[in-house]
Structure 1
Amino acid sequence: MGATIRSLLASLRPGAGEEERREWAVACAHALGLGGIAVSLGRELVWFSDDTSARLEDLQFVLGQGPGLLIGDETEVRQVPDLGRLLTQQWPQFAAEAEALDIAALFVWPVHIGAVSAGTMTGYRRTPGPLTRQQLTEGWLVTDALAEQVLHHWPAVHASRNGTGHSGTVDLHRAEVHQATGVLSVQLGVSLAEALDRLRSEAYTSGRSLTDTARDIIKRKLPQ
């Protein structure tokens, strides 16, 4: 394990404040040779180091495409070292949107809480190429540390902060998405699944984030 990752892991305190956690997340991403990292549990984004990481998770959720959705082997890292070459055929919409964000490579580690596979940690790079064996190994250590932080700062304890969307925090960033889905379901007389599909479609076609679109629906700003 490299000294940089060792010192970062040792420096992360359970009671770390929001700004300290944000700086730690950014430092870990850079120490792994990544531009940024994000953690999702289930389909809920709970942690991200920067806006690009959050946007990538948002795109996977909106489009139903991307490497974080299909983790088949819970003990393996999914590596996409050349996004344009490997994903254009499989996930054309996601690949195009990711490349528009200047993303060249993606790496996804499964997140475990105890013995349970609970989600993913996704890292991106702006240059193509695989990670080294050491970076892959250290990524598992960062993933475990982030999982522990999520448990220590689980958003149910701070419900008033859900959906704030600040990097480095542990929040339910899609709380407003779930609320807007319910609003659409009632207004349009459709199932929750169809309402969510319509919300995703509106976000994608408008080029806005899913959260911003959801907020407008809640405020009755979007035409129905």
Structure 2
Amino acid sequence: MLVQDLLVGLERAVSAGEHRVWAMRCAHALGLGGIAVSLRWGAELVWFSDEVSARLEDAQFTLGQGPGLTSDFGEVPCQVGDLQVAGQWPQFAAEAAALKVRAMFVWPVRSGAVRFGTLTGYRTTPGLLSRQEAADGLRVADALSGRLLAWRPGTGEDGEGTGQAGAVELHRVEVHQATGVLSVRLGVPMDEALIRLRAQAFASGRPLTETAREVLSDLPP
């Protein structure tokens, strides 16, 4: 399926709550294994095609390193053709290797000149994108930018009723909740509580969301 056909069907996919199916088809059209969209410098994962994409974003957020967290978009997309020889982000590269991911590509999700998120894709084989794939990825990122900016939590497009199905999937709600719990429990600011939660997840070798659920499970019923 062509990227143009997928972009035409974006609204229909959102309305039907089929954003993961759409995202996977889009990834394949771009020659990628999967894609994910994160906001606020990786703090919130809102759209992903598969578990590998989600785990890559979680690893970047937990470790505080990875191509999706780069602040330099001198070239679009940011292309890492082989994570194992790039020499950057050694801890993240090890996590990616465990997922059999070799290459990653990052496009800015933006409004005008303001970047508020990233579209990240991966491949299990090394190599760079073709010029067409790079351009098509930017078109996808821009389309998703418009969709995310139009979405209002808990409201329809007319400002009434429930939010539109499938517009976003707040993957780290439990992480934010657990951060608040630790902040109160330990008597530390939210930023420090999040750092401690991330450190706990890294030390245990478990996903951040799983670590957050464990913290929440200790709460009284």
TM-score by length of 2: 0.86
Preserved contact between residue 22 and residue 169 of structure 1 (Cα < 8 Å) = no
CA deviation after TM superposition for structure 1 residue 136, in Å: 0.2
2:133 paired residue number = 135
2:67 paired residue number = 67
Trace 1:93-132 onto structure 2 (pairs within 5 A): 93-132=91-130
Could you list the runs of 5+ residues in structure 1 that have no partner in the other structure? 163-167
Preserved contact between residue 106 and residue 125 of structure 1 (Cα < 8 Å) = yes
SS at match of 2:11: coil
CA deviation after TM superposition for structure 1 residue 153, in Å: 4.0
| CA distance 1:105–1:206, change in 2 (3 Å) | same
1:180 paired residue number = 178
Opposite residue 220 of structure 1, the aligned amino acid is D
Residue-pair matches, total: 209
Preserved contact between residue 46 and residue 150 of structure 1 (Cα < 8 Å) = no
SS at match of 1:18: coil
| CA distance 1:75–1:154, change in 2 (3 Å) | farther
Preserved contact between residue 20 and residue 47 of structure 2 (Cα < 8 Å) = no
CA deviation after TM superposition for structure 1 residue 152, in Å: 4.1
2:159 paired residue number = none
Opposite residue 22 of structure 2, the aligned amino acid is W
Opposite residue 55 of structure 1, the aligned amino acid is R
RMSD, aligned CA: 2.2
1:219 paired residue number = 217
Can you list the C-alpha shifts for 1:125-153, whole angstroms capped at 9, x where unaligned?
A: 00000000000000001111222232344
Mean Cα deviation higher: 212-221 or 33-42: 212-221
Pair 1:78-2:69 in alignment? no
Pair 1:47-2:75 in alignment? no
Opposite residue 192 of structure 2, the aligned amino acid is E
Can you list the C-alpha shifts for 1:197-216, whole angstroms capped at 9, x where unaligned?
A: 11111112222221121121
Opposite residue 140 of structure 2, the aligned amino acid is V
CA deviation after TM superposition for structure 1 residue 74, in Å: 6.3
Opposite residue 207 of structure 1, the aligned amino acid is G
Mean Cα deviation higher: 146-155 or 180-189: 146-155
Can you list the C-alpha shifts for 1:13-43, whole angstroms capped at 9, x where unaligned?
A: 2552112x22111111001000000001112
Q: Structure 2 residue aligned with 1:170, among 168, 192, 199?
A: 168
Opposite residue 58 of structure 2, the aligned amino acid is D
TM-score by length of 1: 0.85
| CA distance 1:79–1:197, change in 2 (3 Å) | same
Opposite residue 17 of structure 1, the aligned amino acid is A
Opposite residue 212 of structure 1, the aligned amino acid is E
Could you list the runs of 5+ residues in structure 2 that have no partner in the other structure? 157-161
- What is the alpha-carbon distance in structure 2 between the residues aligned to residue 187 and residue 26 of structure 1? 40
CA deviation after TM superposition for structure 1 residue 120, in Å: 0.5
